[in-house]
Structure 1
């Protein structure tokens, strides 16, 4: 009897995308369950993630693992082939530092810059650009954060390299571009053009109108407040 591997996710979520990409890099077969996170969340999602009630959830042989970075660590430790975290303790600690930096500093500030009211946008955008400059330094001439192959930092940074690029296009912003951050921009191109990445990223022509709708609703709600 084979292993039971399921991912509860949402097609446009940069966080549930991480879990799917990690499993694909490992060559692990899984069942994907798309959740209606804006409407009726399934009883199973609420059962397997009763604390946060969010995606992603990884279900492995009946046991649930939640939070995208925790899931990535679990996948790495469970399936020992095609490793995406360095084995050297220092390099592994460095990778974890950048993962924390992306999730706690870089991505939230970029997201805020894209969605902020115009009178607040300049200050947040400047802060976001400083974080981008710092993140770019981590590449240090490498093709990927993981070196010549995609590593865990690259998986986490997909939230910046793909999802933010779609959002900035809609908002007419210049956050991640070839002129401002040439190496980081090239990384985002190389990452998105990897066959295994490309086949699992949300289709751009579907993501654009979805994000437009989210922004319009956010602006509408703010106008009423």
Structure 2
């Protein structure tokens, strides 16, 4: 079944195509035309931002793929070179990721099993920078603070794309929040004009909607 889903996606249909619905405005949840969705929007008032967080809205991320979003719609994110906090964790791998990773690295060297799941392994680094408190970091994180998978292959596992967001699966729906630890440690929050709500398709790969359990709060 997984192979069939993957083949459908490669063919261009996508996992969510059969559920496709008209475009929705990411802020209002209304059905809108593409030109309105792509138009510049004015920042919401403080009252509107609080309302959005307290009363989550449904957003179409990919055609036919909806998520319930519960975070400040004015939140921005841009990865900062000096910050590699997220790379100190082992990365959960989905079947889709394993296929991609196998084309770019030796799975025996780069992965490990925990909690019945596959992860990119953490390893001790012989350096002080770009490591966790225990001196370890992601297998692919180099001394320069760059991910070799992303730098050399322009590819990364789905879970890496999701950060700094967190995916929950509730009542058969994907719910998206900001990871609690990111609020404290991530240097890329609110340092640019790239609003997360306007770029959810970049943070939430379509493969998430094909998984039995797309929860991302599963760590090595």
When the two structures are superposed, what TM-score results if normalisation uses the length of structure 2?
0.28
Instruction: Please identify which structure carries the higher helix content.
Output: 1
What is the TM-score normalised by the length of structure 1? Answer: 0.27
Point out the structure with the larger strand share.
Answer: 2
Greater RCO (CA < 8 Å, at least 6 residues apart): 2
